[in-house]
Structure 1
Amino acid sequence: MTRSSTPRQQGFSLVELMIAMVLGLLLMAGVLQTFLSSKQTYSTNNALARVQESGRFAMEFLTNDIRNAGYKGECISALNNLLNENGSGYSADLYDLNQPITGKTGESPSWVTNRTAGDVIHIKYAANIPGVSASGNTTANANAIVLNAASGVAQDAIIIVADPKGCDIFQNRSNANASALSRGNGGKPGNKNSAKNNFSHAYDSSMEVLRLESASYYIGNGVKGLPSLRRISFTSGAKFDEELVEGVEDMQILYGIAGSDRQVDSYVSASSVSNWDNVVSVRVHLLLASTDTNVVPENQIIKFNGKDVTIQNRRLAQVFSTTIGIRNRLP
């Protein structure tokens, strides 16, 4: 009989284990580097997409209002003002549609109290009210305009009525469920005495019933404490301040001044406009920055308004620019 011996089992040596660990660490480092690079790329692309989306929204708000500045329906004559010019809160800057666009360079008008940067622009125009139409004729000395159905127009909204013969502005004192728009007493700024102040002329049922849009755009802090594009509206007579688009750091407004041929000769800041009737276009520059931090390798330096602006906390920034013609003043 022969005796067979089983060989002893042997594991990895210490050197082999160390080599395996080093190779594993190198592999993990490569995977981690790929993950971090992908995460950074995703964060940058996401921040860029949000900045571009915010820029488009901001420009859309501004473009729509600037383009329509001064619109008052079919009316081609001066607006007859039936608002109480001595009433609380009345200001020609807010309610006189005969001067539809004004602005401030690096400062605020009296009604803007929390501007943090940039210029301020104020725009006025008459906007359509869907589904609201007059029923029958309205005499010049009428106290109310009778409608075909409940108006849906809030009490104290500023109303403009117009046709090719003329146009009038007053404050609605009827409730939204009333089938009439009245120019009675009360409200801010309120109406002139209707017994002593008539409409500019008698209207028939084809009259346009419009709502005054009167709003200031400016840069101020939003609900999260970040710079935002904000709007103060006086459509209902009272001041209504709202945040529109967050991440808007600065805004520069330039105004196109036209000569006798109604062609733009130059673009100037609000402080250099001597006659607002000569403004036929507006050039808007917005500086936007991402709300997310650490999305670019280092702080960006952006050229804006002739200066180098450093964007802190490694946020992504972009400048948006557009030129908008005022339709009612173009040749």
Structure 2
Amino acid sequence: MTYRSKIHSRKTPQRGFSLVELLVAMVLSLILIAATAQSYVSSKATYRNTTQVSELQGNVRFSSYFLSTEIKKTGNMGCFQDVTSVLQDNAGNLGLFDFSVPVQVWSFQGTEENTNYVIGSDTPVAAGVGRGQWRNKDNVRLPAKLRDRIVPGTDLIVFTSVGENLPVALEDGNKVADLDLEVNGRHTADRGQLILVGDCQYADIFQHTTNSKIRFSLDGNVNPGNNTFNSGWSRPWNSAHEVRAINHFAYYIG
């Protein structure tokens, strides 16, 4: 007898994700996406803060370098002892050129110690704050030259020193009563430049008032300008005397 075996195959139906599994997967995906987004936002904020701090530190180093350089030179008058200024003593900007005070500070009113002041976002011009809001130690208001340039609530500091020799020699024929100082050749001073001429005993400070390069002129229309001569120069300045520029550097937030 022949036996035949019958193999019975049972097909197993395919199974997909159940609704619960799908929901769990979606929740896990959202959590992962949220964590990734949060990590990105945090990294971006950290990068932005680090960049801002770095820029601030760079600005501080930049400012400190220039300030320290100016502080080292401040008040330096070389060997000049008896210095006479012939600048106008009633000009609106004379406060910037007070050679007896090599460092001057104008403070904004209301920002003294133990007071609160909120610096706004207005530009100096838009703020419309009068220069009388700034005062120095002698209660002198802000010089007119700096009107509408300084952010209200901030201060101004000015350094004064004698600069390097100008590459020029004076003529030997200059007299005490001369209004101009003739030079041998041409000089490099610009109109409005403050200049010191003298030796280790006497010196005069004046302002070059024209665009002339063949003489130093005193009668042009600049500020602060020079006083009308009564007694003339301290000495008849000539080629044996030094000619130097006067440096004024004002630091402020504008």
Task: Say whether the 8 Å CA contact 1:73–1:162 is kept in structure 2.
Answer: no
Deviation at 1:199, TM superposition (A): 4.1
- Please tell me the residue identity of whatever aligns with 2:87: L
TM-score normalized by the length of structure 2: 0.66
The 2-side partners of 1:50 and 1:165 are apart by 48
> Does residue 55 of structure 2 align to residue 24 of structure 1?
no
Q: CA 1:21–1:162 in structure 2 vs 1: closer, same or farther (change >3 Å)?
A: farther
Structure with bigger gyration radius: 2
Where in structure 2 are the equivalents of 1:267-286 lying within 5 Å? none
Task: Say whether the 8 Å CA contact 1:125–1:214 is kept in structure 2.
Answer: no
> Does residue 161 of structure 2 align to residue 125 of structure 1?
yes
- Residue 84 of structure 2: aligned partner: 80
- Please tell me the residue identity of whatever aligns with 2:183: V
The 2-side partners of 1:132 and 1:57 are apart by 30
Q: What SS does structure 1 have at the residue aligned with 2:82?
A: coil
Deviation at 1:38, TM superposition (A): 0.9
Q: CA 1:105–1:172 in structure 2 vs 1: closer, same or farther (change >3 Å)?
A: closer
Q: CA 1:104–1:163 in structure 2 vs 1: closer, same or farther (change >3 Å)?
A: same
The 2-side partners of 1:134 and 1:99 are apart by 29
Aligned residues: 212
- Among 213, 218, 229, which residue is 1:183 paired with? 218
- Residue 168 of structure 1: aligned partner: 204
Unaligned runs of 5+ in 2: 1-6, 110-133, 136-140
Unaligned runs of 5+ in 1: 218-228, 231-242, 244-331
Could you give the per-residue CA deviations for residues 286-326 of structure 1, whole angstroms, max 9, x where no partner exists? xxxxxxxxxxxxxxxxxxxxxxxxxxxxxxxxxxxxxxxxx
- Please tell me the residue identity of whatever aligns with 2:242: M
Could you give the per-residue CA deviations for residues 94-121 of structure 1, whole angstroms, max 9, x where no partner exists? 3231332344566422116666436554
- Among 69, 72, 75, which residue is 2:74 paired with? 69
> Does residue 45 of structure 2 align to residue 40 of structure 1?
yes
The 2-side partners of 1:188 and 1:118 are apart by 25
Deviation at 1:12, TM superposition (A): 2.3
- Residue 232 of structure 2: aligned partner: 197
Task: Say whether the 8 Å CA contact 1:133–1:209 is kept in structure 2.
Answer: no
Could you give the per-residue CA deviations for residues 225-258 of structure 1, whole angstroms, max 9, x where no partner exists? xxxx43xxxxxxxxxxxx2xxxxxxxxxxxxxxx
Deviation at 1:146, TM superposition (A): 1.3
The 1-side partners of 2:171 and 2:232 are apart by 21
The 2-side partners of 1:184 and 1:106 are apart by 35
The 1-side partners of 2:93 and 2:38 are apart by 63
- Please tell me the residue identity of whatever aligns with 2:142: W
Deviation at 1:169, TM superposition (A): 0.9
Task: Say whether the 8 Å CA contact 2:158–2:248 is kept in structure 1.
Answer: no
Where in structure 2 are the equivalents of 1:226-305 lying within 5 Å? 229-230=252-253, 243=254
Question: RMSD of the alignment, in Å?
Answer: 3.4
Quick one: higher RCO (CA 8 Å, sep 6+), 1 or 2?
Answer: 2
Task: Say whether the 8 Å CA contact 1:160–1:209 is kept in structure 2.
Answer: yes
The 2-side partners of 1:205 and 1:6 are apart by 119
The 1-side partners of 2:232 and 2:76 are apart by 24
- Residue 124 of structure 2: aligned partner: none
Could you give the per-residue CA deviations for residues 178-200 of structure 1, whole angstroms, max 9, x where no partner exists? 23322234322322335841243
> Does residue 148 of structure 2 align to residue 111 of structure 1?
no
The 2-side partners of 1:37 and 1:19 are apart by 27
The 1-side partners of 2:101 and 2:175 are apart by 25
Task: Say whether the 8 Å CA contact 2:106–2:142 is kept in structure 1.
Answer: no
- Please tell me the residue identity of whatever aligns with 1:146: V
Deviation at 1:133, TM superposition (A): 2.4
- Please tell me the residue identity of whatever aligns with 1:171: Q
TM-score normalized by the length of structure 1: 0.53
